[in-house]
Chain A
């Protein structure tokens, strides 16, 4: 055992006793729980209400079941709402994503023509992400009125902020070595981008684009509730008129919608990626 030589380091008695660790750990947990309880008290939130006010849930179940699936037939606006929500998400993702992509190339450190421009755009992205999209929508409603158009605009602008960051990060994380190689053969900046950056970054951009669509569908529903039309509006309507069987029906429709959109997205995404980089 004396064959091995050890570097002299800390004194041999140095270890933290488990009881000390336990004290710090439980102190931390206790403090954390107390803070949570205080926060709950300040907000007036009492989780136990879930238990003793549970009769509300039962009442709701009485009112809401069976769900009124027939509203697809009886309410003319139902299909229009579905179309509105999906369309606004589609348009918002398409155009917002396109703008975001262009801006992302200008913002990414390795493809931007100017450092100053890059930081300006990045800050714009951050600013946009801090703005809640319903606020943007409300502001546009002053000009274009209530309805899906305002929501579409808001979704487009929102997508620019959200995906600007994602895309620019994807571009920045591209392997620099092939790009250097292309630059050394005398290619211009745009040629380098086209042959070096774009093929490398395309899969993740496509992936993110589909993810963006999914996120935007959910946002579209939320925006609809603020006056943006579509499914969100139907939810608010059902809630305000206390037609809870309609509400539950919409919940199911939404579930089906999102699940099928997810399937379609996955399918399309794998088709596109399988075919390799387009163009």
Chain B
């Protein structure tokens, strides 16, 4: 690597070229998005009274919102274990150290595909087939998690200490036994920790996806917006913030305890 002195003309050229390219890109991006900061600030002021309506929260809808939030959390609670179980299987199939090559490729490909597709897209496909409701939401959430979890675990399985697997086989264990006693104890703590983290992420995602599918608090929020009932909308936002924050706390707490207790079984 040649050492360019900090202030050589070449360096300035490179940096200014980079900045120019960036500036051009930003300009066109802003055109494409119809960005108009001046009118935004102006608008924010003129609509100030509308924004004040948010502060006047509609407490009468609290229970309704909490129920909707419960639905959203349950969506995540259902989808995450589903995805976890499926991804363990796919991960075992996709790991280099235990699986035959002709299992590996399709498993890895499907994982890669899962990760490339945003969950919104998967949701719309399911909605197109089955209509709105809980069903497409859960599946979209689960499939979205599958890709990430599966890859994490396939990598984790590959990093397992091969020697202990070998010892099990040398003592007469079969392939499946070496998985049960060699691999699973070593990856289980990571699996559970990641699943809990994924649950927290999924609660957030369930807000968004549920809203598109017509269930949960995400939907309540967008519905309140379209009805121009901003007090209601503010209430929904408040409930979401509290619930998401609680889930985050729970997730951190559960994973911390896991670390200390050293894994189940």
Do A and B share a direct contact in the complex (Cβ within 8 angstroms)?
yes
- Interface positions of A (Cβ within 8 A of B): 21, 25, 28, 32, 36, 39-40, 42-47, 49-50, 53, 56-57, 59-60, 64, 80, 83-84, 86-88, 90-91, 94, 126-127, 129-135, 138-140, 142-144, 147-149, 151-153, 217-218, 221-222, 225-226, 229, 232, 235-236, 238-239, 244, 247-248, 250-251, 254-255, 258-259, 262, 276, 278-279
A235–B120 touching, CB < 8 Å:
yes
> B100-108, B168-176, B206-214, B253-261: which one contacts chain A?
B206-214
B50 contact set on A, CB distance < 8 A: 142
B55 near A: Cβ within 8 Å?
Answer: no
B181 in contact (CB, < 8 A): no
Residue numbers in B under 8 Å from A135 (CB-CB): 221, 233, 236-237, 240
Quick check: is B197 within 8 A (CB to CB) of the other chain?
no
| Contact (Cβ within 8 A) B78 A225 | no
A91 in complex: contacting residue of B26, B51, B82, B120, CB < 8 Å? B26
- Given known contacts A53-B130, A142-B47, A143-B40, A134 and B208 CB-to-CB distance under 8 angstroms: yes
Asked whether, in the complex, the Cβ of B40 is within 8 Å of the Cβ of A149, the reply is: yes
B1 part of interface (Cβ distance < 8 Å):
yes
How many angstroms from the CA of A143 to the CA of B225 in the assembled complex?
13
Q: Which of chain A's residues have a CB closer than 8 A to the CB of B78?
A: 36, 39-40, 43, 45
1/0 contact trace for B104-130 toward A, CB 8 Å? 000000000100111111001101111
Of the residues A87, A132, A152, A218, contact of B204 by C-beta under 8 Å = A132
A-B pairs under 8 A by CB, number: 177
B32→A25 contact, CB < 8 A: no
B47, B125, B218: the one contacting A251 at CB < 8 Å is B125
Residue of A84, A131, A217, A239 near B127 (CB, 8 A) is: A239
B29 interface hit (Cβ, 8 Å): yes
- Chain A positions within 8 Å of B125 at CB level: 60, 247-248, 251
A87-B33, A138-B222, A149-B33 known; 18 other A-B pairs, CB under 8 Å? A25-B265, A36-B77, A56-B130, A83-B32, A87-B30, A91-B29, A130-B242, A130-B244, A134-B208, A134-B211, A135-B233, A143-B44, A147-B34, A221-B120, A222-B118, A236-B124, A262-B116, A278-B15
A258, B118: Cβ atoms closer than 8 Å: yes
Residue of A nearest to B215 (CB): A43
In the complex, whether B134 has a CB less than 8 A from a CB of chain A is: yes
Are B128 and A239 in touch, CB under 8 angstroms? yes
B245 within 8 A of A: yes
Q: Which residues on the A side are within 8 Å of B116 (C-beta)?
A: 255, 258-259, 262
Interface presence of B81 (CB below 8 A) = yes
CA A161 to CA B212, docked complex, whole Å: 23
Minimum CB–CB distance from B34 to chain A (whole Å) comes to: 5
User: Beyond A25-B265, A221-B120, is A247–B33 a contact (Cβ under 8 Å)?
Assistant: no
Assembly CA distance A251 to B47 (angstroms): 38
Q: How far is the CA of A64 from the CA of B121 in the complex (A)?
A: 14
For the complex formed, measure the closest distance between the CB of B258 and the CB atoms of chain A, giving whole angstroms: 14
The answer on a CB contact under 8 Å between B43 and A91 is no
A21 lies within 8 A of B265 (CB): yes
A91 touches B222 (CB 8 A): no
Query: A83 to B30, alpha carbons, bound, how many Å?
Result: 10
Cβ of B91 under 8 Å from chain A: no
A144 touches B118 (CB 8 A): no
Q: Are B245 and A130 in contact (CB under 8 A)?
A: yes
For the complex, give the distance between the alpha carbons of A278 and B22 in Å.
15
Residues of A within 8 A of B127 (CB): 239
User: Among the listed A53, A238, A254, which residue makes an inter-chain contact with B118, where contact means beta carbons less than 8 Å apart?
Assistant: A254
Residues of B within 8 Å of A229, CB to CB, are 33
- Find residues 11-35 in chain B having any chain A CB closer than 8 Å to their own CB: 15, 22, 25-26, 28-30, 32-35
Partner of A130, one of B121, B240, B264: B240
CB distance from B240 to the nearest CB of A (A): 6
Beta-carbon contact of B129 and A126 below 8 Å: no
B67-116 with Cβ < 8 A to chain A: 71, 74-75, 77-78, 81-82, 113, 116
**Chain B proximity of A112: nearest CB distance (Å):** 22
Can you list 8 contacts pairing A with B, beta carbon distance less than 8 Å? A87-B33, A94-B22, A130-B244, A130-B248, A138-B225, A144-B39, A239-B127, A276-B1
Of the residues B51, B118, B134, B204, contact of A221 by C-beta under 8 Å: B118
